[in-house]
Structure 1
């Protein structure tokens, strides 16, 4: 009985210890209980979609209705923010809010956020839906292709302090988005892709070379295939390669396509990138020379994680080692042979002396 009590006590202490030393980070499901929808306007171009797809006329003004619903059990303050579509680092179209100093692509002449009113917040009771009205004015002139943006909904947590426990902070930001497509004609636009630059970089703290791919046209591209190969300049031997399917491009946007270096150091030198990008059944072929400087190589390799040395060609070392061993063996052979010769000479000379002594001794006896 006493033994059983000890076991129960130990188990209880272990349970309490685990409770005090473990940190559980989990998403608050209540903060995810809201939704967003839009009311299609009279100039909705595609009738079967759940986002704004509008055929607009120059300088035309209208109201855009965005509906937010609280499906949770507590009152929520929901914020809706107009945004511009970009291509993110993963090669996907992204409607999320960008930092104030974010630099949009230089070919993007008209941003959706410049055509619509500012972000709005509204308090919504449980089980209720509220409508936010945004003022919109179309560009002063007609345009080819599309302008792509969105309305992003999230909880307005302004004024709330971030909770920190044991030096661990967790920001739970659940966002929902409804796209906005603007067009002023049905004219088809052919895609134009280009490479801006190729350079060494750290991608998630791992060595890589990135090629900045740019969609200079106002069209949305999906299911883009990219095939990239890197060689030493003047060589045909492929050092590194990267293939990716289903890449996306927002209109007038760019992103850095990474060719990962397999956690090996970036060596200074001159290289060549060959890349084929297939979009809308059209192949774009690029060939770009680039240089990795000693400074870039040193700085990037020093900051990289999980870096491993590339296997080196030890042929010369093996040849030199073999030659050294062979020379040693020859020297040993020569030394041993010389010693053997000397021993034989000594034996022969000593045997001659002993035989001459025997002869002289026998002569004396005869006398």
Structure 2
């Protein structure tokens, strides 16, 4: 409550989503419904209450209600969302030392809905697709296709050449949290990894408690997306092309030395006869 001025607030309602860093975001205001969700939090909110601006008069308080229009038929699983409140009016206060302070804040209230508290929670993770960006960056789009919220998710991913077993890129993360019916992008390989054009396979093991998933997908890195051969580093940071040139020169030198030694031995034999 502010005693000296009116304060304007913005109130928005959003669905819970999963961030790419493995945290749950309760302020997704795009309201694009997940294709696997029967219901999402914003389905229960009227358009008028999805986004509101209210003004609280100086020296007073105000109560704002967001009504949930829950369907009569019980829904399975969990639905998650959030109510976001942002202060739009900036307050300036003159302190005794002559300094001015500017107060600005926002907060989110998570909301979790379930109608079957004792129902068995069966989660299912899928690998929707593998995307490759120039660099290359290999991104696996992971999708929780069930209305189940869970945490402590570990992801162990390996990238190999297609039909090969040697691991080229290995990445492991832990303690991810996943929102119901949500997807997120997992960066399996960034531009620091030296992958050239070719056919590859990503092999992923996911686990959350007793839940386990094994996801595999082939993908292609084009010549434009991959690291050029001249930029790939080999032994001691030397480029692969330069490394092969050095090896070729060493082979030529060794062959030359062998030829010289053989000829010298032949000349010595000739002289001794």
Please, which of 120, 136, 139 is the counterpart of residue 188 of structure 1? Answer: 120
Q: For residue 122 of structure 1, report the CA deviation from its aligned partner.
A: 1.8
- Cα distance per residue 1:214-247 (max 9 Å; x no partner): 1111011111111111111122211111111111
Corresponding residue for 1:325?
253
Distance change >3 Å, CA 330–CA 231, structure 1 → 2: closer
Corresponding residue for 2:142?
213
TM-score relative to the length of structure 1? 0.58
User: Aligned partners of 1:336 and 1:225: how far apart in 2?
Assistant: 66
Q: Does 1:129 align with 2:61?
A: yes
Q: Does 1:288 align with 2:217?
A: yes
The higher relative CO (CA closer than 8 Å, separation ≥ 6) is in 2
Corresponding residue for 2:182?
253
Q: Does 1:297 align with 2:254?
A: no
TM-score relative to the length of structure 2? 0.76
SS at 2:22 equivalent: coil
What pairs with 1:137-286 in structure 2 (closer than 5 Å)?
137-156=69-88, 174-186=105-117, 187-201=119-133, 207-261=136-190, 263-286=192-215
Corresponding residue for 1:96?
27
- Cα distance per residue 1:166-188 (max 9 Å; x no partner): xxxxxx98431111112222222
For structure 1, list consecutive stretches of 5 or more residues without a partner in the other structure. 1-68, 158-171, 302-307, 338-367
Q: For residue 144 of structure 1, report the CA deviation from its aligned partner.
A: 0.7
SS at 2:67 equivalent: strand
Please state which structure has a larger fraction of its residues in strand.
2
Distance change >3 Å, CA 106–CA 262, structure 1 → 2: same
The alignment of Structure 1 onto Structure 2 pairs a total of residues equal to: 245
RMSD: 3.4
For structure 2, list consecutive stretches of 5 or more residues without a partner in the other structure. 90-102, 235-239, 266-273
